[in-house]
Amino acid sequence: MKKIVSFVLGLAMACMVSAQIQDPVKWSFTVKDLNENMSELVFTAQLDPGWHLYSQHTDPNGPFPIAFEFTPSADYKRVGGVSEPKPHEEFDKDFNCTVRSFEGRVVFRQKIERRSTKDFKVGGTFSYQLCNNGSCIAPDDRDFSFSVKGAKATADDKAAANTVAEAGTTVSDLQEAEDTAAAIAATPVANVADSTATAADQPEKKKDSLLVIFLLALLGGVLTMFTPCVFPMIPMTVNFFMNSTDNKRASRRQAWFFGFSIIFLFAVLGAILTLVFGPEALYFIGTHWVPNLIFFIIFIIFSLSFFGLFEIKMPERWINKSDEQADKGGLLAPFFIALTTVLVSFSCTGPILGAALVGLSTSTTDRWVSLITMLGFGIGFAAPFTLLAMFPSVLKNMKSGGWLNTVKVVFAFLELAFGLKFLSMADLYCHWHLLDRETYLALWIVIFGMLGFYLLGKLKFKGDEELEHIGVVRLFLAIIDLAFVVYMIPGLWGAPLKAISGFLPPMTTQDFNIERSIEEQGATVVYDGSAMGTEALPADRKYADRLQSPAGYHGFFDLEEAKAYARKVGKPIFIDFTGHTCNNCREMEHLVWSDKEVKDIINQKFVLCELYVDEQQIELPEAEWITDDKGRVLKTLGKRNLYYEKSMFNMNAQPYYVIINADGKVLTKENYQYDRDIQKFIAYLNEGLSNMK
């Protein structure tokens, strides 16, 4: 009886201990033969309710994506990349980007060409991050293995092998050439069957997103009416329809046909773009440094064009051909008048339409965005022409003049400012550090400051008329613009500027932050009216040049250094197991760590040590490498920190907080996980302090 009780108690205790190591996903690996030489490797993940993992195509600024690495082998060749179902998309305010994730059952597929006639194995590793509403599990390498049947040797295969041998070409040469071609052609294709449920889960959100895109494009089309390329054409074009026939009904019918022709022309272009760009291509456009750098150059070119340096227009031959067809009359006349209008106005509509397409296409991977954008823009562009043709008396109140050139120059400033966003994306992707936050803000302050002076008549460009006085509208626009400039100035010293945070580089790129600088000098920092003293930490702390603490905090990034310092000053150590891509960590920092009392306690009474578990860019010196219980050598800072969390505290999720003394003894009954209750967090800190005494 005692043995039974002991066994039950031991089993219960084992369950309690192991319960902290969370593994909310079950993986299965199967092989599907497609034909004699092709197979498909199927990775199937079954996630527990409430948990999700992140797409391979997650934004670089977002959470950690799932990544696959295959062990090279001559037995097979990968065909394309790993395909995945359509992810759920949602804008995340903490990461400030669109996050793509999966829930429930998720299937990833990899096609391979079997090159061995003997059975073989396909192995490798993959890593991923799991999160729910309360915690995240840091990415860790996981092994996979597939048992694959050998390919069937055919007479054609043998003949081809003989031909290769006779030609003196090695198999490795062909392998290298084929791998290169596959790498160029490989574009993951979403699995339609697996994506059906995911897409159906969010129908309203998708509709809302496309509706917003349509309305923004519609507004852009209407705004082109006030550009100097389009506005002067309105009276001329409308006059053509009013004088082309004495029958008012026929004239209005032609006007309607003209308007629909413009919409048709833009819709056709949108349909072409829709067929060309699928979800993966739009993701590549939105995140990769190459297209973002190209978009930046395009915006600069359009901006210079609007400033009057040169003019972008369609070839004269195209315009003349269209004019000739318009002169023939009939129903074709309105169509070719529409075509001529679109071509002639391109020097003004091109930059605006280009900005709309780029901006909207890079904000989503929905393949219909191009068609919706072009359709909305076409309707907005055609509406003024059509309506004014129906109500010609309105034309008497419309006067051309220098104000049209003013609109054009204002657009030039805006194109210049928003173009920097794309350069910033390329800069973040490649870690060039050319456009850090304060540099970006300085450029915006100068650009919008010059725009304000221009609106006040202090700057003049080509085509501007003499300005004897400014109107009330122009004055108020200048006031709004210059107020915006004043609003941005504190950002140079680290102010958050929440209203425009979506356009700015992350705060971590800020080289100068007055709050952080005061702390580094060991001075007094004021948080929300409460003065608190801080002690200067060693300037040569490990990784302090690569990693940063949350705003208002200052700590170590290496545990041994933190222990040595804690022993010197006689304080407990507050360990923060965190991650760059941990959404819940950011929530705790924004909602709990920002509290005045919490800052007071941690900064004054603890030694803060932040251990990033997903920092894979910092490689450890060989002397600091460690071997885990699976025999793997851990060579990066993140893997070592994660192993420490798992081996010492039986935990693999973040955020996770531990209070220890300089000897490594835990000072609280329980460690602290994700919980936004500020008073509960303060009580946890005080418990650690009381047990230190």
Token pair 């578990």: residue: 613
For residues 378 and 258, give the distance between their C-alpha atoms in angstroms, rounded to a whole number: 12
Q: What confidence category does residue 315 fall into, taking pLDDT thresholds of 50, 70 and 90?
A: low
Q: Is residue 153 part of a domain?
A: yes
Q: Is residue 6 part of a domain?
A: no
One domain for residues 273 and 397: yes
pLDDT of residue 228: 47
Query: Total domain count for the chain?
Result: 3
Mean pLDDT of 472-501: 88
Q: How far is CA 582 from CA 21, 87, 672, in A?
A: 18, 19, 16
pLDDT of residue 646: 85
pLDDT of residue 517: 62
Q: What confidence category does residue 256 fall into, taking pLDDT thresholds of 50, 70 and 90?
A: confident
One domain for residues 127 and 207: no
pLDDT at 204 over 50: no
Give the domain range for residue 297. Answer: 203-485
pLDDT of residue 523: 45
CB 335 within 8 A of CB 323: no
Residues 572-589 have pLDDT tens digits of 999 999 877 676 777 788
One domain for residues 598 and 463: no
Average pLDDT, the chain: 74
∠519-494-453 over CA atoms, to 5°?
145
Mean pLDDT of 678-687: 94
The residues, ordered by sequence, that sit 6+ positions from 564 with a Cβ below 8 Å of its Cβ are: 662
One domain for residues 259 and 318: yes
Q: Is residue 124 part of a domain?
A: yes
Last residue of a domain, one of 166, 201, 236: 201
Residues 92-103 have pLDDT tens digits of 776 767 788 999
One domain for residues 576 and 524: yes
Would you give the distance in Å from CA 612 to the centre of its chain? Answer: 21
Mean pLDDT of 567-575: 94
pLDDT at 405 over 80: no
One domain for residues 217 and 117: no
The residues, ordered by sequence, that sit 6+ positions from 37 with a Cβ below 8 Å of its Cβ are: 113, 114, 151, 152
One domain for residues 356 and 471: yes
The residues, ordered by sequence, that sit 6+ positions from 166 with a Cβ below 8 Å of its Cβ are: none
DSSP 352-377: HHHHHHHHHHTT---TTHHHHHHHHH
Q: Is residue 499 part of a domain?
A: no
pTM: 0.45
Instruction: Using the CB atoms, write b or e for 415-437: b if 16+ within 10 Å.
Output: bbbbbbbbbbbbbbbeeeeebbb
Strand partners, 69: 125
Q: How many residues are present in the chain?
A: 693
Residues 180-196 have pLDDT tens digits of 333 333 333 333 333 33
One domain for residues 517 and 583: yes
CB 55 within 8 A of CB 84: yes
pLDDT of residue 571: 93
One domain for residues 371 and 335: yes
Q: Is residue 290 part of a domain?
A: yes
For residues 211 and 209, give the distance between their C-alpha atoms in angstroms, rounded to a whole number: 5
Instruction: Identify the CA nearest to 20 among candidates 458, 660, 658, 665.
Output: 658
Element (H, E) at 280: helix 279-287
One domain for residues 218 and 142: no
Q: Is residue 393 part of a domain?
A: yes
**CATH code, 589:** 3.40.30.10
CB 598 within 8 A of CB 681: yes
DSSP 454-469: HHTTS---TTPPP-SS
Strand, coil or helix: 595: coil
Question: 531 versus 342: which is more confidently predicted?
Answer: 342
